[in-house]
Structure 1
Amino acid sequence: MHHKLQTTSPLILLFCLAVFISCQDKSKQHTENWKSLFNGKDLNDWVVKIKGHPLGDNYNNTFVVEDGILKVNYKAYDSFNNSFGHIYYKTPFSNYKFRMQYRFTGDQVAGGAGWARRNSGIMIHCEDPKNIGLDQDFPVSIEVQLLGGLDSGERPTGNLCTPGTHVVINNELYTSHCINSSSKTYQGDQWVKVEVEVRNDSIIKHFINGENVLQYSKPQIGGPVDYNVEFWKSQEGTPLKKGFISLQSESHPVEFKNIEILEL
C-alpha cells in the first residue's frame, strides 16, 4: 500500500508564525512593568520646593491638579519674582526609563526671564529636596530641558543642561551649561512625548516622540552652584549614580500627564 506524503499548508504555517509573534509581543509587554508616578487626582507622593519658600509650601498654588493633569499655573502671581520651583517624586531612582507628555500653554507670567518663555524641564539624579537651600534656584542635577517653539526660528527640545554637574560627550568631559538635542521644534500648545533612559552613572538617552535626540554618559558633580558651595566643590568628579526626579516651574504655564517609570 502506498501512503500519500502529508504536507503542511502554507496558511497553517502563517497562522503559527502570527501566533508566535503575538506571544512574543505579549511576553515583552508583560515584562515591561511601567508604574504611574502621578495618580491624576492630587499631589500625594510629590514634594514641592519653590525658591524663597520652605520645603512643602506650594506657594501661590503653583502646582495644581486639574482634569487628571499636573499643571504649573501662575493665576495667583502678580510677578514671577524669580520663584523657580520644582516638584519632586518622593523616592530616588537609579536605573530606569521615565516617560510623560508635556505641553506649554498660554502666556508667560509677568517678571519671567526672556529665556524662560516656554521653558521647563525634567531634573534627574537630583540631590535630596530636604537639602535644598531656602533661596536655591535649582537642585544639583541633570536637566532634560523642555522647550516650546517661539513662533519663528528653530528651538529644539529634549536638550541637556547641567546645574552643578558635568557629563561626558564623545569621550570628552562636557563642562558648558547646555547643549541642544537633534529634535525638531514644536510650536503652539501641542502635547509632546518625552522619554529618558537612565543607566546609573553610565549612559543617559533622551527621546522626543520616540526619536533618540541626545545621548551622553558619566554624569558627575562639577561646575558652579548657588548653595552649599564648599560641600559641592569637595564632591567634584563624584559619579552621580542615583537621585530624585523633579519637574520644573520656571515662569511659563506648562502641563504634564501620563507620568510613568520603568525600573530596569
Structure 2
Amino acid sequence: MKMFSKLFLFLFSGILFISCSNGAQKSDDGWVDLFNGKDLSGWKAVAGTANFEVVDGVIVGSAVAGSPNTFLITEETYGDYILELDLKVENLTSNSGIMARGQFDPAARDGNGLVYGYQVEADPSERAWSAGIYDEARRGWLYPLDLNPAAKTAFKMGEFNHYRIEVIGDEIKTWLNGQEVAYVVDDMDSKGFVGLQVHSIRNPEDEGNKTYFKNVKIKTTNLDPKPFSSSIYVVNNRLNELTDYEKNTGWKLLFNGQNSEGWKGAYKDEFPDFGWSVNDGILTIAESDGGESTNAGDIVTKEEFSAFDLGFEFRLTEGANSGLKYFVTLSEGNKGSAIGLEYQILDDEKHPDAKMGKEGNRTLSSLYDLITAQKQGRFINPIGEWNKGRVVVEPNNHVTHYLNGLKVLEYDRGSEEFRELVANSKYKIWPNFGEAEQGHILLQDHGNRVSFKNIKLKSLK
C-alpha cells in the first residue's frame, strides 16, 4: 500500500510539473495563464530577430536594428476566447500590438516567415490609436480610433495598460484600462495564435527599446461576453446585416440587400425600372453614357432625416463618378442630379472632375465643390475594391466625413464659413443651400457603374 501511495505521488508530481512547465495553468474560474511567469514555455519567437526574455515575472521584448516586426506567439491556436493582459511601453517609438487569431506563413519573405491577421494596437504616438484593430500584413486598419476618439486618452505611457480582447464568432471587441474602444465584425480568420509584438525600428538609436507584457491569460470555455455600455461605431463586414448591439443602439439598414424597398427615383414616385439592380446583396447602377442623371436617374430614400450617423460601402469601376448626397429636398426643380450636400465618390486618377473645382474639392470623400478631403493614400482601397464611407451630422449641425475609418473633413452647416464657401461655389444660385432641417439620402447615377452595400443609419438626438 505504501509503495502504491509513493507511486501515485510520483506520477501526480510529474503531471503537475508538466502542466506548470508548459506555461498554461488553469484556474477554477476557467482562465488559463498563457505565461507562467518564469520562462517562455508554450511560446516561440518568429518573423524577426528582436529578443524576448523573462525578467522578474515579466516578458520583456527588446527592439533590434535591422529586424522586421518580431512576434512571440503561442504554440497553441485558439478559436473563440477572451484574452486579458498587461502591456507597457517606455518610448514613444515603441509601437506594439497583440495578435488575436494570428496567422503565420513560415515560407514567406524567402523563408523568414510572415505574421499576419488581426492585431490589437499599442500606439503611444500622438495619433493615439491604442486598442484599435489593425489587419497586420494584409488589409491594414480595420478600426482606427478616429471612429472612437473618446478612447484615445485611455493608453498610459510608461505604465502597464490592461487590455481585454473578446474574439467570439465573427466579433472582435476591445477594452483598454476599462475603456470601451473598438468593435469589428469580420470572419476572415476563425482561429489562430496569440502573439506579442516588438515592432521594427527606423532609427538605430532606438535599438534596445523595450516592451513589457505580463498577466497574460485566456478563457476559452463558458465565455461571458462583456456588453458595451456606450454607443460606439461598429465596423461590420457582414453583408447587409446588423449586429444585435447595433439594433439595440438605434441603427437600421437603409438597404435590405434584397430589393429596392425604402427607395424611389428622384423626382419620381417609383423606383427606376431599369439601370439600377440588386444582385447578391449588392445595389448597382449600370454603365451608360457617363452623363449626370441622364439614364436611370438618381435614387433617394423615401424617408427624410435630420441629424444622423450614416455608414455605407461603395465600389468604383475604372474612371467612375458617383456621389452620396444628404439633405436632398427635391424642391429645386433642377434638371440633372438633385441638389444636396455631396460626399464625392470618384476615381480621382482617371475621372476629369478630380482636376476641376478648387484645390481638390471635387475628389473622393470631399464635400463636393466646397471642402477638400484630407486623405492618406494608405486609407484608399484600389478601384474595384470596396471602400467604407461615413457621414455624421450631429444635432448641432457639425458634420464629419470619414473614409475607411479615417476622418477626412469636418464643417458646420449654416456657419458663416460654410456660407462663404457656398457663395463661391456652383451652389450659390440656390438660396440657403445645404441648410434644410431634413432631407433625403441620395445615390447618384452619373452614367458609370458603381455599387453599394451595407447602407446603415442611426438617427441622432
5+ residue gaps, structure 1: 1-10, 107-116, 162-176
Decide whether aligned partners of structure 1 residues 151 and 215 sit closer, same or farther in structure 2, where only a CA change above 3 A counts: same
Q: Does 1:259 align with 2:455?
A: yes
C-alpha distance in 1 between matches for 2:263 and 2:335: 19
1:216 is displaced (CA, Å) by 0.5
- 1:62 is matched with which residue: 275, 278, 290? 275
Partner of 1:171: none
- Closer, same or farther: CA 132–45 of 1 in aligned 2, 3 Å: farther
Query: Out of 130, 139, 147, which is 2:346 matched to?
Result: 147
**Partner residue, 1:73:** 286
Task: Note if contact 2:321-2:446 (Cα within 8 Å) is conserved in structure 1.
Answer: yes
Aligned: 1:218 with 2:413: yes
Distance 1:142 1:81, change over 3 A: closer
Which deviations, in whole Å up to 9, do the C-alpha atoms of 1:125-146 show, x marking residues without a partner?
A: 111x4x463x622323111111
Name the structure 2 match of 1:157: 364
**CA 1:137–1:32: 2 relative to 1, 3 Å:** same
What's the TM-score, normalizing by structure 2?
0.40
Cα deviation code 1:103-159 (max 9, x no counterpart): 1126xxxxxxxxxx42211101111x4x463x6223231111112243699985210
Matches within 5 A, 1:114-153: 117-127=319-329, 129=330, 131=331, 133=333, 136-150=335-349
Match of residue 199, structure 1, among 394, 402, 408: 394
Distance in 2, Cα, partners of 1:98 & 1:69: 18
1:95 aligns with 2:307: yes
* Displacement after TM superposition at 1:243 (Å): 1.1
Q: Matches of 1:104 and 1:258 in 2, distance apart?
A: 15
Post-superposition CA distance 1:171-222 (Å, at most 9, x none): xxxxxx3332012354321100011101246200001111100101024786
SS at 1:23 equivalent = coil
**Structure 2 unaligned runs (5+)?**
1-31, 34-83, 86-162, 167-174, 179-224, 233-244
Cα gap change, 1:24 to 1:149, in 2 (>3 Å): same
Cα pair distance change 1:27/1:70, threshold 3 Å: same
Counterpart selection for 1:25 from 217, 228, 241 = 228
- Sort the Cα spacing of 1:203 and 1:146 in 2 relative to 1 into closer, same or farther, 3 A: same
- Larger deviation: 91-100 or 217-226? 217-226
User: How many pairs were matched up?
Assistant: 213
Structure 1 pair 92/82, CA: closer, same or farther in 2 (3 Å)?
closer
Cross-structure match for 2:446? 250
Q: What is the deviation of 1:45?
A: 1.1
Matches of 1:151 and 1:80 in 2, distance apart? Answer: 13
Are 1:158 and 1:206, in contact at CA under 8 Å, matched by a contact in 2?
yes
Root-mean-square deviation (CA, aligned residues, Å) is: 3.7
User: CA 1:35–1:150 in 2, change beyond 3 Å: closer, same or farther?
Assistant: same
**SS of 2:435 mapped into structure 1:** coil
Normalised TM-score (structure 1): 0.66
Residue 140 of structure 1 aligns with an amino acid whose one-letter code is I
- Within the candidate set 226, 250, 253, 1:36 is matched to 253
Larger gyration radius, structure 1 or structure 2: 2
